Amino acid sequence: MTAPPIDPSRPFFVPVGENPARAFGMSAARRAAALAVKAGLEPAERIEPGRAAVLADLHFAWDPVWASTIARRPGTVIVKDGRAVLAHVRAGQDHEALLAAMAEARPIEDVQGFDLLDADRAELTNKELRKRERPFVLPLVAGQEELVERAAYDASYKGVTDALTLYLWRKPAFYMTRWAARAGLSPNVVTCAGALLCVAAFFLFWEGRYWMGAAAGFGFMVLDTVDGKLARCTGQSSKWGNIFDHGIDLVHPPFWWWAWAEGLNHVGRRFEPRDRFDEPVYEALIIGAIVLGYVAQRVIEGIFMRRYGMHIHVWRPIDSRFRLITARRNPNMVILFVALIFRRPDIGLEMVALWTLLSLVFHSVRLAQANARAERGRQIISWLS
């Protein structure tokens, strides 16, 4: 097999020092290298002549966004309490004094030719996770790995997402993510387990076994959080894993709502559905409103992103706040869960249809407002920028 050609413009990633700490069950060097690879860096043991390199002090752990940031900034050193954490050395640049300071775990002093970036003061925009923040840099100490694990887990969250993911199961999903990492499970394994629960929820809803279906559905929703966090915290994200995960997320919701409607034929005396769902036309209208409204919202999001280069949910603060409750799977499941408590799964489905249409109206108006603003020559930029 022919080796892939070496890209001389791709910086090396060179770890400095040794550290016995194991965050997420991974050695400091292995985890740092995995995160560096996702940032487009090439792991190496040493700097080679003619090649740029990013030096990394293994006594620190950092938000992955720092790796992608330093990769784009040759001649820059990220510092924490006076110590160099990450440093992008240009090809042929004098780095001996910097390397010595990192190897000896002491503050850098008179380092010529480098720009210093204080990790405690810098704010960065993370477009992938839709947020602007001050990324973390923390000492990585054996026996105190949980501090880094919690910081890395929190950093892996999208800044704009639904309320359940952001608040309800954030803590239990952390422990599940950490356990999965220490057990050596890959994100794709977690995604597969979630997919099985997703399919189980569909058949349970179809049979009118709503409580069991809701349990399977919520289990899938939690694992849908865990697999993404596991990938980001351990540097195991992949193109196909991302397609697998997001493909399931995109496709399954309409099937759940269809199964929920069909399940109304089997609920017997356990619930009190109204007989209007016995009419095929009425059922088709409700399901049609949910499915077509869901697809239309996705289309609007795609149009907005194509035209303005960002998610519609990060345009203005109101869009980010509405993302907490907009008619996606998780908020819809809350509506259906409340309906089950009141023994009216039929009304729950009707409320999902209504909320879907209202959400569609909201996003349609926001797209129209953005278009009108752009036509007047005003720039459309995210409030997070």
| Mean pLDDT on 144-159 | 93
279/219: higher pLDDT: 219
What would the two tokens of residue 16 be?
């400095």
CA distance 135 to 125: 9
Total length of the chain: 385
| Mean pLDDT (whole number) for 306-335 | 95
Mean pLDDT of 246-271: 86
Comparing 12 with 127, the larger pLDDT belongs to 12
Q: What is the tens place of the pLDDT at every residue in 46-83?
A: 888 889 999 999 999 999 999 999 999 999 999 999 99
The pLDDT of 207-213, averaged and rounded, is 96
79: helix, strand or coil: strand
Q: Is the dihedral of CA 193, 195, 199, 201 positive or negative?
A: positive
Which pLDDT belongs to residue 365? 98
Two structure tokens written together for 149: 């694990």
pLDDT at 3 over 50: no
Where do runs of H (alpha helix) occur along the chain? Answer: 28-38, 64-71, 96-103, 145-155, 163, 170-182, 187-206, 210-234, 239-263, 280-308, 317-323, 329-341, 345-375
Could you tell me if 257 and 201 are in contact, meaning their C-beta atoms sit under 8 angstroms apart? Answer: no
For range 118-136, the mean pLDDT? 82
Residue 125's pLDDT is 77
In whole angstroms, give the CA distance from residue 39 to residue 59: 20
Write the DSSP assignment of 307-374 as a string of letters: HHSS-GGGSSHHHHHHHTTSSSHHHHHHHHHHHHHTT-HHHHHHHHHHHHHHHHHHHHHHHHHHHHHH
- Above 60 in pLDDT, residue 15? yes
Average pLDDT of the segment spanning 125-144? 86
Domain ranges of the chain: 12-125, 156-375
pLDDT at 269: 54
Residue-level pLDDT at 4? 40
Distances (CA, A) of 315 to 102, 291, 292, 307: 41, 25, 24, 12
Question: Mind listing the pLDDT tens digit for each residue in 336-367?
Answer: 999 999 999 999 999 999 999 999 999 999 99
> Which pLDDT score, from 0 to 100, does residue 273 have?
62
Looking at the domain that runs over 156-375, which CATH code has it been given? Answer: 1.20.120.1760
Please give the average per-residue pLDDT across 296-306, as a whole number. Answer: 96
Please give the Cα distance from 231 to 297 (Å, whole number).
27
Query: Under a CB-based contact definition with an 8 Å cutoff, are residues 178 and 208 in contact?
Result: no
* Per-residue pLDDT band at 133 (split at 50, 70, 90): confident
The answer to whether 230 touches 185, Cβ cutoff 8 Å, is yes
Residue 275, pLDDT score: 67
Q: Which residue has the higher pLDDT, 241 or 253?
A: 253
Q: Which of 8-12, 136-140, 157-161 has the lowest mean pLDDT?
A: 8-12
Beta bridge partners of 138: 61
What pLDDT was estimated at residue 6?
46
Q: What is the pLDDT of residue 2?
A: 39
Helices 210-234 and 329-341, interaxial angle, to 10°?
150
Task: Give me the half-sphere count of Cα atoms (radius 13 Å) on the Cβ side of residue 372.
Answer: 6
Structure confidence at residue 237 as a pLDDT band (50, 70, 90): confident
Q: Distance between CA 114 and CA 75 in Å, rounded?
A: 5
pTM of the model: 0.87
Q: What is the pLDDT of residue 239?
A: 76
**What's the CATH code, domain 12-125?**
3.90.550
**Amino acid 123: pLDDT:** 85
What is the percentage of the chain residues whose pLDDT exceeds 90? 75
How many Å apart are CA 139 and CA 373, to the nearest integer? Answer: 46
Print burial letters for 213-230: b (CB count within 10 Å at least 16), e (below 16): bbebbbbbbbbbbbbbbb
Average pLDDT, the chain: 91
- The angle at the Cα of 270, spanning 268 to 276, to the nearest 5 degrees, equals 55
Long-range pairs of 112-118 with CB within 8 A, sequence gap ≥ 24: 113/75, 114/75, 114/76, 114/77, 114/87, 115/73, 115/75, 115/76, 115/77, 116/76, 116/77, 116/79, 117/73, 117/76, 117/77, 117/78, 117/79, 118/79, 118/80
